[in-house]
């Protein structure tokens, strides 16, 4: 009868294995804390107010030899003679003497309006601002600009005024929420130029107050963090892929067909290998705007399989599980996980990643926040349900310990050792689940760093690399420890004890077969 490596490996080797896993986990955290910079950088650009008398579609540069005719303030005498439709807000990304890089992976643009209070021109409630936006790119400072997109966008303008609205307070500024504007899924060019216009007529951009300035905050991934991230994926990808193939090869060597738990472990290895694919290397040379969507699909696949694995892993060891080895026994749990992951992926598809100017995510921030809150509550409920299942598994194992028949002390200690290993693995599973859920909830939290002596610890980077390393190490541990061992020979007395405990139950481990016997009883 075959057994898993977790049961056949000697205690000394198992301790060494756990030690090296913990060592790699600490290393993955330190890589993010000490080597990697912060994941993202935010740079604020003050839009230049360019004059476009003829309202042409020519690209207006804010600085340089071909810079546009400008007004520094709308209070200037020249500005008072202009129509609002003659003003174009120009922003060049990046700042002078710098350039963008494909290592930045993506770029977000957020608008911040400086709006002065005027008694005769106040901001109306639930007002929507219309933006005629154009984006162009080039790869040197002398070539012509190439249009990337042109779109007319609408965004809700939400502002508050901290003091009373009186004539004495005219000229004070509103406090306006930042307006997420656009997202580029690839930074394949060195220079970008934004030309923003606020068209005004009888129905458009009415009741938006007196706009003084527009700030554009550009957010992109740091190149140094990208290099660390891709390097980790390049290391883990062949490791997990080879381990998954090796695991399935060992399963196919068994005389019996694989059980549900073994199939789910194989699916877990495949999903982890899919996430580890370092396709970002190819994005360095190609303008693949769908890379963010692909990365989201990778994470959704891992979340789905990982959450389903934890449910099935616990469920297959429960005393009251009467339909083990049948995926249909978990139809509602698996169905909810797949449904939730599908909703996440559909939500990203609705964000319009293919068109950087059209984005549901950036147009309506409140529904997005509501969606994240609901998702956070759902995963917390999932974790509490998983904790309950782990408690039931431990209770089942404890009951089985009391029902062990009389046998020599050596074999009794052996079974206790096997059960202790299984409980330790279950606690590690629960820890991995907790950290994964924390990562899911806090993934949008602002980054931070701590100073420790002469070193700066990047907390956010350490968290990201640590969680990513934990996923890979956990999946590798499950694959390795649950692979069939080559040590499958038993003495005749031990074989009789195992047969008595398991009653011919087929499965990857003795704990699995023992709990199956209890379920039948």
Among the candidates 221, 240, 264, a domain finishes at: 221
pTM of the predicted model as reported, rounded to 2 decimal places: 0.83
Query: What number is the average pLDDT over the span 416-421?
Result: 78
Burial class (CB in 10 A: 0-12, 13-18, 19+), 294: middle
Q: CATH no. for residue 327?
A: 1.20.1070
Q: Work out the widest C-alpha separation in the chain, in whole angstroms.
A: 103
Judged against a pLDDT cut of 70, whether residue 487 lies above it is answered with: no
260's CB contacts (< 8 A; 6+ apart) are 312, 316, 324, 325, 326, 327
Q: What angle do CA 350, 351, 352 make, to 5 degrees?
A: 85
* 235 & 194 share domain: no
User: What string of DSSP letters covers 260-302?
Assistant: HHHHHHHHHHHHHHHHH--THHHHTTS--TTHHHHHHHHHHHH
Asked if the peptide bond before residue 94 counts as cis, ω within 30 degrees of 0, the response is: yes
Among the candidates 180, 200, 221, a domain finishes at: 221
Query: What number is the average pLDDT over the span 210-223?
Result: 92
Query: What number is the average pLDDT over the span 348-373?
Result: 51
The confidence band for 111, taking pLDDT boundaries of 50, 70 and 90, is: very high
**What is the pLDDT at residue 410?**
65
Is the residue at 519 inside a domain?
no
Inter-residue contact 89 to 114 (CB < 8 Å): no
Q: Could you give the CA distance from residue 115 to residue 171 in angstroms, rounded to a whole number?
A: 9
**What is the pLDDT at residue 137?**
94
**What is the pLDDT at residue 510?**
65
* 162 & 204 share domain: yes
The confidence band for 454, taking pLDDT boundaries of 50, 70 and 90, is: very low
* 383 & 476 share domain: yes
**What is the pLDDT at residue 17?**
93
Is the residue at 59 inside a domain?
yes
Lowest-confidence range among 206-220, 300-314, 427-441?
Answer: 427-441
The confidence band for 443, taking pLDDT boundaries of 50, 70 and 90, is: low
**What is the pLDDT at residue 296?**
82
Inter-residue contact 320 to 519 (CB < 8 Å): yes
* 232 & 134 share domain: no
> Which tokens is 2 given?
């075959």
Among the candidates 221, 238, 261, a domain finishes at: 221
* 75 & 15 share domain: no
Is the residue at 122 inside a domain?
yes
Query: What number is the average pLDDT over the span 401-424?
Result: 70
The confidence band for 230, taking pLDDT boundaries of 50, 70 and 90, is: very high
Phi/psi of residue 5, nearest 5 degrees: -60, -35
**What is the pLDDT at residue 72?**
87
Query: What number is the average pLDDT over the span 12-40?
Result: 91
* 89 & 179 share domain: yes
The tens digit of pLDDT for each residue in 232-253 reads 999 999 999 999 999 999 999 8
The tens digit of pLDDT for each residue in 155-196 reads 899 999 989 999 999 989 999 998 888 888 889 899 999 999
**What is the pLDDT at residue 115?**
94
* 318 & 385 share domain: yes
> Which tokens is 53 given?
């008398």
Query: What number is the average pLDDT over the span 486-498?
Result: 48
284 lies in which domain range?
5-38+224-482
Judged against a pLDDT cut of 60, whether residue 519 lies above it is answered with: no
Q: Could you give the CA distance from residue 521 to residue 518 in angstroms, rounded to a whole number?
A: 5
Lowest-confidence range among 151-155, 156-160, 391-395?
Answer: 391-395
Is the residue at 501 inside a domain?
no
Residue 239: Cβ within 10 Å count: 15
* 46 & 156 share domain: yes
**What is the pLDDT at residue 407?**
57
* 97 & 237 share domain: no
* 317 & 265 share domain: yes
The confidence band for 491, taking pLDDT boundaries of 50, 70 and 90, is: very low
**What is the pLDDT at residue 76?**
83
In what helix (H) or strand (E) does residue 521 lie, and over which residues does it extend?
none
**What is the pLDDT at residue 145?**
93
> How many residues in the chain?
521
Is the residue at 500 inside a domain?
no
Identify the CA nearest to 478 among candidates 439, 429, 435: 429
Is the residue at 110 inside a domain?
yes
Query: What number is the average pLDDT over the span 122-147?
Result: 92
Higher pLDDT, 223 or 287: 223
Judged against a pLDDT cut of 80, whether residue 18 lies above it is answered with: yes
The confidence band for 406, taking pLDDT boundaries of 50, 70 and 90, is: low
The tens digit of pLDDT for each residue in 319-359 reads 444 566 778 778 888 888 888 777 776 766 655 444 444 34
* 211 & 232 share domain: no
The tens digit of pLDDT for each residue in 41-80 reads 889 999 999 998 878 888 999 998 888 999 988 888 887 7
488's CB contacts (< 8 A; 6+ apart) are 1, 2, 3, 8
Higher pLDDT, 267 or 1: 267
- The mean predicted confidence, pLDDT, of the chain is 81
Is the residue at 253 inside a domain?
yes
Higher pLDDT, 376 or 110: 110
- Strands (E) across 186-342 are located at 191-197, 210-221
* 324 & 463 share domain: yes
Buried b (16+ CB within 10 A) or exposed e, 439-450: bbbeeeeeeeee
Judged against a pLDDT cut of 50, whether residue 498 lies above it is answered with: no
**What is the pLDDT at residue 371?**
66
> What domain count does the chain have?
2
Is the residue at 495 inside a domain?
no
Query: What number is the average pLDDT over the span 414-418?
Result: 74
Q: Could you give the CA distance from residue 479 to residue 325 in angstroms, rounded to a whole number?
A: 18
191's CB contacts (< 8 A; 6+ apart) are 92, 93, 94, 99, 100, 137, 138, 139, 141
Lowest-confidence range among 16-20, 131-135, 184-188?
Answer: 184-188
């Amino acid at each position: 009868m075959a057994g898993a490596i977790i049961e056949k490996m000697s205690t000394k080797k198992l301790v060494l294995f756990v030690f090296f896993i913990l060592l790699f986990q600490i290393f993955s955290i330190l890589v993010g804390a000490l080597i990697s910079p912060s994941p993202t950088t935010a740079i604020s650009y003050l839009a230049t107010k360019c004059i476009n008398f003829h309202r042409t579609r020519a690209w207006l540069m804010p600085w340089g030899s071909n810079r546009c005719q400008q007004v520094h303030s709308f209070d200037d005498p020249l500005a008072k003679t202009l129509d609002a439709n003659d003003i174009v807000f120009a922003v060049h990304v990046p700042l002078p003497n710098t350039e963008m890089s494909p290592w930045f992976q993506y770029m977000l643009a957020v608008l911040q309006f400086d709006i002065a209070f005027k008694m005769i021109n106040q901001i109306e409630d639930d007002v929507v601002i219309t933006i005629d936006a154009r984006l162009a790119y080039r790869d040197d400072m002398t070539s012509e600009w190439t249009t990337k997109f042109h779109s007319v966008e609408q965004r809700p303008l939400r502002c508050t005024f901290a003091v009373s609205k009186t004539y004495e307070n005219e000229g004070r500024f509103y406090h306006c929420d930042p307006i997420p504007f656009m997202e580029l899924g690839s930074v394949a060019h060195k220079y970008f130029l934004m030309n923003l216009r606020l068209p005004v007529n009888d129905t458009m951009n009415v009741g938006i107050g007196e706009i003084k300035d527009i700030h554009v905050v550009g957010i992109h991934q740091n190149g140094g963090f990208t290099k660390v991230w891709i390097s980790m994926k390049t290391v883990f990808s062949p490791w997990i892929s080879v381990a998954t193939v090796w695991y399935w090869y060992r399963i196919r060597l068994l005389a019996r067909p694989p059980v549900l738990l073994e199939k789910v472990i194989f699916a877990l290895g495949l999903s982890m290998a899919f996430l580890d694919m370092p396709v970002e290397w190819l994005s360095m040379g190609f303008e693949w705007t769908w890379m963010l969507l692909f990365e989201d699909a990778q994470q959704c696949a891992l979340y789905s399989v990982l959450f389903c694995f934890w449910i099935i892993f616990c469920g297959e060891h429960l005393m009251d599980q009467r339909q083990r080895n049948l995926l249909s026994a978990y139809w509602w749990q698996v169905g909810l996980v797949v449904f939730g992951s599908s909703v996440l992926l559909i939500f990203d598809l609705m964000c319009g990643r293919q068109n950087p100017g059209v984005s549901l995510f950036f147009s309506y921030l409140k529904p997005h926040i509501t969606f994240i809150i609901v998702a956070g509550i759902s995963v917390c409920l999932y974790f509490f349900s998983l904790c309950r299942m782990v408690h039931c598994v431990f209770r089942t194992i404890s009951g089985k310990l009391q029902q062990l028949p009389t046998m020599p002390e050596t074999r009794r200690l052996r079974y206790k050792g096997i059960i202790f290993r299984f409980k330790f693995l279950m606690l590690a599973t629960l820890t991995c689940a907790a950290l994964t859920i924390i990562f899911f909830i806090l993934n949008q939290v602002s980054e931070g760093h701590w100073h420790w002596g002469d070193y700066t610890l990047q907390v956010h980077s350490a968290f990201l690399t640590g969680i990513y390393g934990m996923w890979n190490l956990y999946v590798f541990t499950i694959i390795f420890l649950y692979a069939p061992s080559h040590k499958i020979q038993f003495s005749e007395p031990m074989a009789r004890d195992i047969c008595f405990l398991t009653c011919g139950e087929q499965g990857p481990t003795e704990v699995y077969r023992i709990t199956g016997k209890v379920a039948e009883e």
